[in-house]
Amino acid sequence: MKLRIGRRLGLAGAALTAAVAVVASPAGAGQALAAADHGCFDRAKEPYTSKVDSHLHFRPFGGKAIPFDELTGYLRKTGVQHASMYGIGQTLPVNSSCTYYLDCPGTPVVPSMKNDFVNAENWLETKPEDPELAVSMTFMDLAKPETIPAGIALYDKEFPGVFRWAGEVNVVKQALFPNHHKATTTENIKHWAPFMKVLRERGIPITLHSDLGSDAEPTKYLPLMEEVLRRYPHNKIVWAHMGLSKELTKMDPDRHIRLMERMLGEHHNLTVDLSWRVLEDAYFSKPGVRAKYAAFLDRHPTRAIPGTDFVASANKDYKVYEEELEVTSRINKALGDEAFRDIALGQNYFRLLGINETAPRVCEAAAR
């Protein structure tokens, strides 16, 4: 009996050796086979720009949007195969001529269902597979949590099964203070329970814009995010821009990384979102800083997702998208292979969204 098993193993081993020999020789055949097999991703030859855009606003703050087909064309052209289809968490009144809230202090901006409806309609018309898009609920007014479950119920009725993401929604966004936006309170976060339960049951991730603070008070609003994570430990929570913003461009990177590391350690349901070029411009591009953030991401390769934070207002064109993708992807170049695959090639995004996709493995450095 023992002998027979031994012989079987021996045979299997021989067959395996023969198969490897066929694949490995000649060298060209091996490469062709690897490619046909969606084999490995060669970082030396292929672009470093992210294959997923988890933070993409298909609707502008106000005014006209880039047409849906045109925008999906941008994604195809840049090699972005998956994206989250965000509306916008703050819309200007329909009678306003503004396209950007910062140009119109005093004009109130509020979340709205309109942009989500347009996105859902556009998506339903073609249900594109390249790029594959996750339609997101962006209407949620976190300051009025009691209105949210009814909103989700309405979406379920009008667009059953269409919405697979939530956000980006604002916990606190200092840039909107001149437009009547106020920070959410810890008291208010308690009342999120009913809609957070719905998201949890459906495995829907929620992206929260929650400013960490300002240059004068870098962690002023940290308690809000801590409260959200403490109260909802089983929701998939994505922290937009790692809490950074134009109001917080001078925080000591070591301090910021230490804080992110503590939050990821304490809250296993937290993913950080690396979107928005402010991160590159104000932090990663500074001397010595990129290596620090890359090392941080290499220590936590499964905990971050990439994005552009592009806002599709009609005054922008392909060049702007291409540039924002390139700028927000520069950090990818500094990542080790594991973090590169998980973040840039989309493995973390696929897992968070719960889709049956696998990022290609990265070719070994020796083969590059």
Q: Which residues bind Zn ion (CB under 5 A)?
A: 168, 309
Which residue number, 211 or 337, has a Cβ lying nearer to Zn ion? 211
Which residue number, 168 or 337, has a Cβ lying nearer to Zn ion? 168
- What's the sign of the alpha-carbon dihedral 183, 185, 186, 189? negative
- What's the sign of the alpha-carbon dihedral 93, 138, 211, 220? positive
Record the tokens describing residue 43, joined without a space.
Answer: 């970082």
**Which residue is nearest to Zn ion, using beta carbons?**
309
Which long-range CB contacts under 8 A does 90-98 form with residues at least 24 apart?
Answer: 90/61, 90/170, 90/173, 90/176, 90/179, 90/181, 91/59, 91/61, 91/62, 91/115, 92/61, 92/62, 93/62, 94/62, 96/62, 97/62, 97/63, 98/61, 98/62, 98/63
- Supply the minimum distance, in Å, between the C-beta of residue 53 and Zn ion: 11
- Supply the minimum distance, in Å, between the C-beta of residue 84 and Zn ion: 10
- Supply the minimum distance, in Å, between the C-beta of residue 36 and Zn ion: 38
Calpha distance 22→93 (Å, rounded): 66
Calpha distance 292→186 (Å, rounded): 32
CA distances from 47 to 43, 44, 284, 330, 366 (A): 7, 8, 19, 11, 18
Which residue number, 53 or 168, has a Cβ lying nearer to Zn ion? 168
- Supply the minimum distance, in Å, between the C-beta of residue 32 and Zn ion: 41
Which residue number, 247 or 337, has a Cβ lying nearer to Zn ion? 247
Which residue number, 169 or 270, has a Cβ lying nearer to Zn ion? 169
Which residue number, 55 or 267, has a Cβ lying nearer to Zn ion? 55
* 110 phi/psi in degrees, rounded to 5: -140, 155
Which residue number, 232 or 310, has a Cβ lying nearer to Zn ion? 310
What residues have CB less than 8 Å from 207, skipping those under 6 apart?
Answer: 54, 55, 84, 86, 136, 165, 166, 167, 168, 169, 238, 240, 273
- Supply the minimum distance, in Å, between the C-beta of residue 204 and Zn ion: 18
- Supply the minimum distance, in Å, between the C-beta of residue 238 and Zn ion: 11
- Supply the minimum distance, in Å, between the C-beta of residue 123 and Zn ion: 19
